[in-house]
């Protein structure tokens, strides 16, 4: 019996370690994952405007083997804006199914050309294989998935090179795939940034140190909408959809049906310009109503440097809310959807104003990271000025921040808590979310400007239940994007989410719809409202599973 005290001491130590961990924790598995990627922005002393903005990263299952693969967007030499050598290729990493990845870029044919910004991945032709749309400073590129591990570049054939303004190609940053007219085909909404000429860069200095100029030095642009013709081609319908005169400096683009009228709406986070909200008018036009909804400005009435955004139900009300990231001294606005066409600014009331005042945020997301039934907030950070340490008491590198939902309208900042590799600071820009190992906990993949990308595995110390729903549309688009899902568990908790791949800043996240289920042991009911209008109900299901649901044909 001499071993009993040793066992007791070991158990006590284990409990102590467990209790010292934060409720949400991530472990950096980059080294063992085999993911080797450095986002090279081709920086020059001239401080060209696009250099600090590359972010694109996508999590999508390109080979349909059940595991999420990773795609990174890269830069190019400045100011030529064209690919110059191996180090500037975009990269595709195939998930081997054991948290390791293999670089398959050359075989797949998705290296890309140009100066990259963002990426949007979805199945635009309903053939079951997700495709890639890469956003560039110069012409964008569409890669069609051939279903055999390779892609074909079809930009010209499809007619989606990016919009034109004043006769020049617009600089695109991000895009969202969704079926705006509910005809069963995914359309493409592109967020455009600003008028920029590499040969006419303004001079911006602080203490004789050249810095990146603010966006007000550059003209604003309209956004672009491509309607899917259903035959592999698209038509630019920006003018007839009412977008041509709505100028902004678009960064984030996220989509959801905010008023439950059956038509998906669009939120644009603009950089140093009023944020925009495009209300879908029955699949024919969009009406910009950001001012009417009270979400064009921050709580103090100022414009912000809108970077990333997500558009999901944070407070379990059944209505999608909007959370936006910005630069230091601006806070990260939180707009709660109060129903009846009204949003309430809860940035201060939730505690986020104080918590985020000194943060510079880029890509972000709203996900239940500890599976307790309440969606949390996560943001990757860095200062926009890479030389800020030479003239201010700050550094460009910042950590990843998790803001845990306390289920009372407020959030707990876990940045300062030990036990999570999110504390490691870097020049983060892009972040995509998804369950890389199918264990029910949502992981993160981050791009780092001029530094190694990071793969963070969610190792949050709990045994909470979870559910991932993978949709297959029949009358609706194949991926079910836009479908609204309500889950009721055996404890009586009711949650809402919707199918989307557009999150954060220039990113694509897991197409599967995630729910944390806390202490629930069974799922009492799942209601799915498909974009086609079909209502589907499933009853009495176990927790902790990836549930594949096919839309009823009739």
The answer to whether the beta carbons of residues 381 and 363 sit under 8 Å apart is no
Q: Of 11 and 325, which is predicted with more confidence?
A: 325
Mean pLDDT in residue range 278-292: 98
- State residue 98's pLDDT score: 96
- Position 419 scores a pLDDT of 83
pLDDT, tens digit, 9 for 90 and up, residues 120-131: 999 999 999 999
Q: How confident is the model at residue 9 (pLDDT cuts 50, 70, 90)?
A: very low
pLDDT of residue 414: 94
Strand residue runs (E) in 301-410: 309-312, 321-324, 334-339, 342-345, 361-367, 376-381, 401-405
Q: Where residue 151 falls among pLDDT bands split at 50, 70, 90?
A: very high
pLDDT in tens, 420-462: 999 999 999 999 999 999 999 999 999 999 999 999 999 999 9
Confidence of residue 214 (pLDDT cuts 50, 70, 90): very high
pLDDT of 30 strictly over 90: yes
pLDDT tens digits along 376-393: 999 999 999 999 998 989
Banded model confidence at residue 255, pLDDT cuts 50, 70, 90: very high
What integer pLDDT is reported at residue 7 of this predicted model? Answer: 33
What pLDDT sits at residue 17?
A: 35
Helix H or strand E encompassing 436:
none
- The model's pLDDT over 172-186, given as tens digits with 9 standing for 90+, comes to 999 999 999 999 999
Per the model's pLDDT, the better-predicted residue between 4 and 475 turns out to be 475
Q: 253: which 2 tokens?
A: 């683009």
C-alpha pair distances (Å), 80 with each of 210, 272, 346: 21, 27, 44
Q: What is the pLDDT of residue 352?
A: 98
- pLDDT for 77 equals 85
Comparing 191-205, 267-281, 518-532, the range with the smallest average pLDDT is: 191-205
| Residues across the chain | 554
Confidence of residue 114 (pLDDT cuts 50, 70, 90): confident
pLDDT number for residue 22: 80
Mean pLDDT for the stretch of residues 78-98: 78
Question: Which pLDDT score, from 0 to 100, does residue 12 have?
Answer: 39
DSSP string, 177-214: EE-TT-SSS-EEEEEE-B---TTSPPP-EETTEE-PPP
Q: pLDDT tens-digit profile of 294-320?
A: 999 999 899 999 999 999 999 999 999
> Per the structure block, which two tokens stand in for 538?
């499933």
CA distance 498 to 483: 6
Q: Calculate what percentage of the chain has a pLDDT beyond 70.
A: 95
Decide if pLDDT at 251 tops 70.
yes
Q: Are 226 and 234 in contact (CB under 8 A)?
A: yes
Model pLDDT for residues 31-81, shown as the tens digit of each residue:
999 999 999 999 999 999 999 999 999 999 999 999 999 999 999 888 766
What pLDDT shows up at residue 4?
38
Q: CB under 8 Å to 532, separation ≥6 — which residues? A: 182, 184, 473, 475, 476, 551
Q: Which pLDDT score, from 0 to 100, does residue 81 have? A: 66
CA distances from 38 to 90, 491, 542 (A): 10, 46, 41
CA 137 to chain centre: 19
Q: Identify the pLDDT of residue 78.
A: 83
pLDDT of residue 554: 74
Q: How does the average pLDDT of the chain come out, rounded? A: 93
Q: How many CA atoms lie within 13 A of 46 on its CB side?
A: 15
Tell me what pLDDT residue 14 has.
35
Cα atoms in the Cβ-side hemisphere of radius 13 Å centred on 546? 16
Half-sphere exposure (Cβ direction) of 7: Cα atoms closer than 13 Å: 4
What are residue 377's DSSP bridge partners? 366, 403
Q: Which pLDDT score is estimated for 11?
A: 37
- Rounded to two decimals, the pTM is 0.95
């Amino acid at each position: 019996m001499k071993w009993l005290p040793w066992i007791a001491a070991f158990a006590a130590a284990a409990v102590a370690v467990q209790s010292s961990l934060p409720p949400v924790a991530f472990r950096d598995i980059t080294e063992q994952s085999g993911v080797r990627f450095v986002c090279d922005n081709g920086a020059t002393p001239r401080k060209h405007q696009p250099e600090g903005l590359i972010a694109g990263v996508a999590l999508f299952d390109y080979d349909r083997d059940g595991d999420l693969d990773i795609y990174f967007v890269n830069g190019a030499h400045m100011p030529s804006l064209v690919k110059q050598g191996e180090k500037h290729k975009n990269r595709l990493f195939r998930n081997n199914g054991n948290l390791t990845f293999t670089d398959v870029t050359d075989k797949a044919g998705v290296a890309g050309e140009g100066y990259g910004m963002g990426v949007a991945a979805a199945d635009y032709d309903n053939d079951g294989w997700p495709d890639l749309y890469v956003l560039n400073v110069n012409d964008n590129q569409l890669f069609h998935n051939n279903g055999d591990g390779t892609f074909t570049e079809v930009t010209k054939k499809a007619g989606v090179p990016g919009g034109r303004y004043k006769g020049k190609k617009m600089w695109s940053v991000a895009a969202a795939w969704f079926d705006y007219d509910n005809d069963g085909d995914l359309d493409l909404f592109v967020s455009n940034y600003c008028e920029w000429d590499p040969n006419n860069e303004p001079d911006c200095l602080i203490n004789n140190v050249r810095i990146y100029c603010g966006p007000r030095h550059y003209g604003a642009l309209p956004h672009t909408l491509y309607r899917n013709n259903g035959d592999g081609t698209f038509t630019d319908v920006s003018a007839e959809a009412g977008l041509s005169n709505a100028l902004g400096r678009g960064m984030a683009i996220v989509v959801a049906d905010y008023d439950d009228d059956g038509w998906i709406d669009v939120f644009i986070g603009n950089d140093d310009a009023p944020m925009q909200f495009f209300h879908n008018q029955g699949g024919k036009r969009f009406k910009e109503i950001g001012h009417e909804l009270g979400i064009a400005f921050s709580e103090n009435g100022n414009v912000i440097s809108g970077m990333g955004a997500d558009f999901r139900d944070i407070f379990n009300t059944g209505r999608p809310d909007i959370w936006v990231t910005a630069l230091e001294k601006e806070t990260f606005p939180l707009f709660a959807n109060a129903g009846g066409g009204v949003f309430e600014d809860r940035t201060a009331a939730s505690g986020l104003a104080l918590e985020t005042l000194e943060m510079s945020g880029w890509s972000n997301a709203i996900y239940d990271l500890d599976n307790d039934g309440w969606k949390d907030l996560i943001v990757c950070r860095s200062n926009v000025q890479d030389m800020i340490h030479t003239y201010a008491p700050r550094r460009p590198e910042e950590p990843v921040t998790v803001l845990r939902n306390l289920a009372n309208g407020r959030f707990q900042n876990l940045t300062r808590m030990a036990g999570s590799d999110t504390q490691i600071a870097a020049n983060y820009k892009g972040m995509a979310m998804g369950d890389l190992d199918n264990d029910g906990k949502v992981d993160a993949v981050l791009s780092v400007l001029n530094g190694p990308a990071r793969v963070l595995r969610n190792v949050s110390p709990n045994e909470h239940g979870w559910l991932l729903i993978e949709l297959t549309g029949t009358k609706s688009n194949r991926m079910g994007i836009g479908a609204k899902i309500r889950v009721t568990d055996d404890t009586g908790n009711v949650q809402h989410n919707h199918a989307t791949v557009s999150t954060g800043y220039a990113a694509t996240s897991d197409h599967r719809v995630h729910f944390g289920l806390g202490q629930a042991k069974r799922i009492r009911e799942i209601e799915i409202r498909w974009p086609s209008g079909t209502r589907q109900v499933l009853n009495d299901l176990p927790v902790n599973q990836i549930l594949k649901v096919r839309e009823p044909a009739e």
